[in-house]
Amino acid sequence: MPDLTTSLGPLRLKNPVVTASGTFGFGSEWADFYDLSRLGGLTTKAVTVLPRRGNPMPRTTETASGMLNAIGLQNPGLEAFLAEKLPYLRQFDTAIIVNIAADRIEDFVTLAERLDGQAGVAALEVNVSCPNQACGGLEFGVDPALTAQVIGAVRAATTLPMIAKLTPNVTRIADIARSAVDAGADALSLVNTYVGTAIDTRTRKFKIANRQAGLSGPCIKPLALLAVWRVAQAAKAPILGMGGIMNATDAVEFMLAGASAVAIGTANFVNPMAAVEIVDGIEQYLSQTGAASVQEIIGAVQPAL
């Protein structure tokens, strides 16, 4: 049986499949479908210092081979997460990665300090794709210096493994990636959603109340795959690859491109069993191709000629 273990810097995973933030709640909704201990890891919905009500409806719409969402980080807030969500998650033998979001660096620090040392929290995933209050709403993650400020501040506030989640809505993602690693990120997760929108021609209204939304699903997979490959070439940190992964073949592609682990997002909505089917599928792929471990395929893509 091939060895499925992998790691994202100091974070050890028993297999390379993690659920992506915002597509899996805080885990309890999946109790009927499978034992969460089958996952390599589970990334929580973004947690902010205070509860957030999120954006007005409508918040989502399907597009060709994808979906747009503008949920607006609706979540119960840090203290409710610790009191009501974390105790449930703690009982599973899987890496609990807490996604944290804020629009001020102080709030990122508060989140990191409070989550540090909490039993059951395996790592932090820092969502740098939020608008930065101090810079007129410019996203932290579109600027290498701002990214470094956030990641550096979180680094100083926690000893937990820290993953920087990068936005693909930039000209040169490798520059942002290097900046995050230099500032202390142990690993990089990419990609977050691509920004887009959709319009109803009958009503002549935006289909999303927020107008701008994040595009996910199989339509972004080729874009995400290239971003992962580029960052793998440029940054010296392990990658949690994501973006439209629907099945084990997609997952293996990301690993061949350089991802040490993969995250499953929109696919959870399409097929509640997707993540565990992908664990099984990766194992089959390794067996069928004679690979002894997941490590053998990470970054193993070859030139076409």
CA distance 276 to 51: 31
Per rule CB under 8 A, is residue 81 in the interface with another protein? no
Residue 191: cis peptide before it, omega within 30 degrees of 0: yes
Q: Please give the Cα distance from 52 to 49 (Å, whole number).
A: 9
Among residues 1, 32, 136, 288, the one that binds another protein under rule CB under 8 A: 32
Shortest approach of another protein to residue 131 CB, angstroms? 19
Element (H, E) at 165: strand 162-165
Of 265, 267, 268, 256, the C-alpha closest to 295 is 256
Quick check: helix, strand or coil at residue 233?
A: helix
Q: Give φ, ψ of 100 to 5 degrees.
A: -115, 140
Of the pair 46, 170, the CB lying nearest another protein is at 46
Q: Which is nearer to another protein, 51 or 152 (CB)?
A: 51
Out of 10, 37, 62, 233, which residue is the one contacting another protein (CB under 8 A)? Answer: 62
The verdict on 198 binding another protein (CB under 8 A) reads no
130 catalytic, yes or no?
Answer: yes
Among 23, 147, 179, 210, binds another protein (CB under 8 A): 23
The residue with tokens 């050890």 is 12
Binder among 88, 92, 206, 269 for another protein (CB under 8 A): 269
Active centre residues (catalytic) = 130
Binding residues for another protein (CB under 8 A):
22-25, 29-30, 32-33, 45, 53-54, 57-62, 65-67, 69, 71, 74, 217-218, 266, 268-273
